[in-house]
Structures are given as C-alpha cells and as structure tokens.
Amino acid sequence: MSMSPAQECNIWNFNDETVVVKVLTLMTWASALKSELAGYQVTQQPVFPIVRKHLSVPDSYPDLDLYEHIRDSYASVKEQLGVG
C-alpha cells in the first residue's frame, strides 16, 4: 500500500486519548525530535513544545520518552500501512 503525505493516522496523547495527525507530520516530528535530542535545531522554533502541546504532554515529561513515543508511533503506522 502506498502512503499519501496528507493521509491521517491516530496516535495516543498523554491523556490516553487518540488524536489525529497527518502521517507526514508524524514523520517530520520523529526526525526533528531526534535532531533536537542531538543538540540540533532544524526549524525556526523548537519542535518539542509543539508536540507537547498537540499531545497534551506536560513539560516535566522527559524529552527522550516523548521522542520514543513519536518514533514508535510512526513505526507502527508504517507497519500498519505496509510501507518501509
């Protein structure tokens, strides 16, 4: 199955509710958060606060754990779609 950049998926937020995210957004978040953890900023503003707000994640939640959630969610979506 092919994957459209505009295709949407559901991922869990901090409140154990599902939220809709475009697959392209999820892929971008995964890449940007990984870069930010390594000390690089790939956009004009940091991505961690954007993801935290969208997923209702408190500031006290560890960045690494948030990145791993996004990474794992993206991997799961790709697996479900049968891509890469």
1-53 confidence digits (pLDDT tens): 566 768 999 999 999 999 999 999 999 999 999 999 999 999 999 999 999 99
pLDDT tens-place string over residues 45-80: 999 999 999 999 999 999 999 999 999 999 999 998
- Residue 56 half-sphere exposure toward CB, CA atoms < 13 A: 9
Q: What angle, rounded to 10 degrees, do the helices at 23-37 and 63-81 form?
A: 150
How buried is 55 (Cβ within 10 angstroms: 0-12 exposed, 13-18 middle, 19+ buried)? Answer: buried
Q: Report whether 30 contacts 12 (CB < 8 A).
A: no
